[in-house]
Structure 1
Amino acid sequence: MPILDSKGRLFGKINILDLGAALVILMVIVGIFIFPGTSGSVAEVGIKTVPIEVDLVVRGLNVRDPERLSAQGFTKGGKTNVIIRNQPYGQIAIKSIQELERTITVPQPDGSVKELPDPRSNNFSTDFILTLEGEAKVTKTGPVLGNSKVKIGMPFELEGFNYNFNSSVIDVRLLEK
């Protein structure tokens, strides 16, 4: 009896293509259930958590009454919801808020330039520097809040009871425990 007959069957009973498909299915099942892989993320091995301070700059926030914004929880010692790269991080503490004076550059007759307070009547635009504090994981490539790296220039979206606006990271400080 030949091993392979004219119809492509082994020992006249099993089709060689069916046998190959059955072996592939068996290997997939073994791969899924016997060797499922490692649990957890490889990135979390040997990572330490440290306190972090992130400075954000908010330019041209159009708000009628900045004091009313702070009355709804957007104050030093309060908390705000943070969204980093469209990924919600959660709540983070507000360490400080520093309102920046609106200025314009004015050329002087001698050719120099001075920065003077803005005399225009548009008082609805506000700039400020905001410092947030929380806990970050430190990886080889930098600090991570949630699942997002925190680097200078990244946009942060801040959201609360009566506000939702974007800001940009201007400083990241890792603090010693």
Structure 2
Amino acid sequence: MAILDSKGRLFGKFNLLDIGAIFVVLLVIVGIFLFPGSGSVAQVNAKIVPIEVDLVVRGLNVRDPQQLYANGFAKDGKTKVIIRNQPYGEIKIKSIQELPRTLSVPQPDGSLKELADPRKNNFSTDMLLTLEGKANLTDTGVVLGNSKVKIGMPFELEGFNYNFNATVIDIRIQQ
């Protein structure tokens, strides 16, 4: 009797492809049980700390910013956050500060002076938002949900009557 017959069977009973598939399945099972939880890097050596994140919103087109603050943000004091197209959940809004709209006006002596924007039909608003919540502190930075938070990252804020983008300008770890 031959070790390998004309149909590719070992000793006439076992197909070589079936033996290879069983071997691969066994390797996967051994890998799962010998190295469990090795897939998540963000939670290694992480501790949960309270943080504050400052966001700047530039050029938000809104008819009445005060109504947005009163009805949109202050209604429940929270907003939904989406970081890198991954929903994080709700986070508390600590403060909202409307930034003044200014123009750089050249002066007769050649210098520039920042003056208030005199246009009355301007529906563009700039604001500074401070959000506060809890995040994982790792060796490489702060992690909200599964996303690292760094200065310059865009956040998408969503609520009952708004959806717009903001940019992270500061991250403070509270002690």
Partner of 1:31: 27
Which residues of structure 1 form unaligned runs of 5+? none
Partner of 2:108: 109
Within 5 Å, which residues of 2 pair with 1:86-101?
86-101=85-100
Secondary structure (helix, strand or coil) at the match of 2:53 reads strand
**Residue-pair matches, total:** 172
Distance 1:70 1:28 in 2: 58
Change (3 A) 1:22 1:106: same
- Aligned-residue offset at 1:138: 1.3
1:148 maps to 2:144: no
- Aligned-residue offset at 1:41: 2.7
1:121-153 residue CA offsets vs partner (Å, 9 max, x unmatched): 223111010000011111222101011110111
1:153-173 residue CA offsets vs partner (Å, 9 max, x unmatched): 100010001001111111111
Distance 1:49 1:29 in 2: 38
Q: Percent identity of the aligned residues?
A: 67
TM-score (norm 2): 0.87
Change (3 A) 1:4 1:162: closer
Distance 2:99 2:148 in 1: 27
Distance 1:158 1:71 in 2: 16
TM-score (norm 1): 0.86
Which residues of structure 2 form unaligned runs of 5+? none
Greater radius of gyration (CA):
1
Q: Runs of at least 4 residues of structure 1 off by over 3 A?
A: 1-11, 32-35
Partner of 2:51: 52
| Cα-Cα RMSD | 2.4
Partner of 1:81: 80
- Aligned-residue offset at 1:73: 4.0
Q: Give the residue type in structure 1 aligned to 2:130.
A: T
